[in-house]
Structure 1
């Protein structure tokens, strides 16, 4: 079981090119990826997305890609000879006409506008894309390890809460028969009082009492809650992403707990229903972060 919270970072280097990929993830209903990378690497955005699509099913991912050319061979310099010759001609004219000292150096010439031209060398996009994918894959592996580690902590915590639910349901099961008997007797008394001495067939009276008493029986809800607990345990041990299924199952937990609470007026059961709902809510919050 994996959490949707994670972090991964990886560096890929080749031929003086250094790519750093850093990614963070949080919970999200679906797979949502935001990639931020230098404009010069925009051609690789889809490739980065594909790496995450292939490795994860749910979560919001922020991916940051940085690029460094450690060989500094991304720019070529050249001399504009025509411009340089014109500057030198003007220099000679000034020296001859005005008799000024010739202190014009090569350094000064290089600093003169348009003498030195720069040309950006086109990068090998295929090689860079391969390097970026390598970095993204490495960061994804780190991310998966962290999400698995966090997922195991979530799993253990949820299992503890499932045990509390099972124990509480067991207590409710032991109390439930008493509440049905008490309700049956109370209902019988009320019917007798309402009849005010009018004779009625005893068998019919008992049938009516039994019919309405069944409406407060919580045997089915108890059985379903125990079944849900077993189902949730299986989900927690599954290797596949189960977050959405768990979220749906927790809603069923809550439905059964609410039904028990509405059927029973016994304070002992009411107290235990509150315990159930508290643990179910904690599980619901944690399940939101399960992939």
Structure 2
């Protein structure tokens, strides 16, 4: 399925500790790059938030915003951040082993670390909000994905029409190609006759030159490769995986074949079709830059 790299999604949920709000937005980017901004008391869950988002969104510059609007008495009393406390304890144990020290790791030491105690209701623990937070993240990604699918459908419709135009233009090139060879052969024979000015023509030599000329302007291979690349381009539309990079590569190959056709054919009629082909390829390339 074609999906856009640009999108926006939002979800929220009321909890015993107030409202959790998650917003996700992204713009075009060559790779998958994510930044997460969240309250300090949720930082121990940032890794899992990143993992959940990147499991669904493969490309784009992604921004995730997590807000926690505390209400009522929430925030008046200390809140114990169990996941962060465990992370600090693990780090202290590693430090003990690395330095070979046996000093005790006390509760007072861990509680004194930044954000282990945060402002919140004394009966509430941060780890109890993990399920709520991850559910809201999933909802935001679902909303985000829906927007990307809608925009992707619009991109696909436009690209499909332009691919049909490419097929039409290249069909005109294929139809014109045999006549180009015949006309070039006739012009070559006429020029030779003029140069010889009534002297006998060497038909065998002329036939050899015509064959060489025909080989130089033969675009059969380019037409076959163009058709093959275009078929692969169309088939990618139905892939369940992100196809933006594949489409971009195929466009480069299509453009290469079109350039070769233009240089080999050396014909005004084909040149006009080549201009039209390159114009459509550029428009498709601009659209493909938006695809995941």
**Shorter-chain TM-score category?**
0.7 to 0.9
Q: How big is each residue's C-alpha offset from its partner over 1:182-237, in whole Å with a ceiling of 9 and x where there is no partner?
A: 11122233344556677674223202221222111112222222222221111112
Q: How big is each residue's C-alpha offset from its partner over 1:114-153, in whole Å with a ceiling of 9 and x where there is no partner?
A: xxxxx94576232233322111111001111111111111
User: What corresponds to 1:72 in structure 2?
Assistant: 73
User: What corresponds to 1:217 in structure 2?
Assistant: 218
User: What corresponds to 1:163 in structure 2?
Assistant: 164
Query: Counterparts in 2 of 1:243-254, with a 5 A limit?
Result: 243-254=244-255
User: What corresponds to 1:132 in structure 2?
Assistant: 133
Query: Counterparts in 2 of 1:197-208, with a 5 A limit?
Result: 201-208=202-209
Q: Which region of structure 1 is more displaced relative to structure 2, 51-60 or 159-168?
A: 51-60
TM-score (norm 1): 0.79
Distance in 2 between the 1:124 and 1:76 partners? 11
Query: Could you say what secondary structure the match of 1:34 adopts?
Result: strand
Stretches of structure 1 lacking an aligned partner (at least 5 in a row): 78-118
Q: Which region of structure 1 is more displaced relative to structure 2, 200-209 or 152-161?
A: 200-209
Query: Could you say what secondary structure the match of 2:77 adopts?
Result: strand
TM-score (norm 2): 0.79
Contact residue 4 and residue 151 of structure 2 kept, 8 A: yes
Distance in 2 between the 1:153 and 1:74 partners? 46
User: What corresponds to 1:177 in structure 2?
Assistant: 178
User: What corresponds to 2:284 in structure 1?
Assistant: 283
Q: How big is each residue's C-alpha offset from its partner over 1:144-183, in whole Å with a ceiling of 9 and x where there is no partner?
A: 1111111111111100000001011111111111111111
- Alpha-carbon RMSD: 2.1
* Shift in Å, 1:73: 2.8
Query: Counterparts in 2 of 1:38-49, with a 5 A limit?
Result: 38-49=39-50
State how many pairs are aligned: 250
Stretches of structure 2 lacking an aligned partner (at least 5 in a row): 79-117
* Shift in Å, 1:6: 1.1
Larger radius of gyration: 1
Q: Which region of structure 1 is more displaced relative to structure 2, 272-281 or 131-140?
A: 131-140
User: What corresponds to 2:235 in structure 1?
Assistant: 234
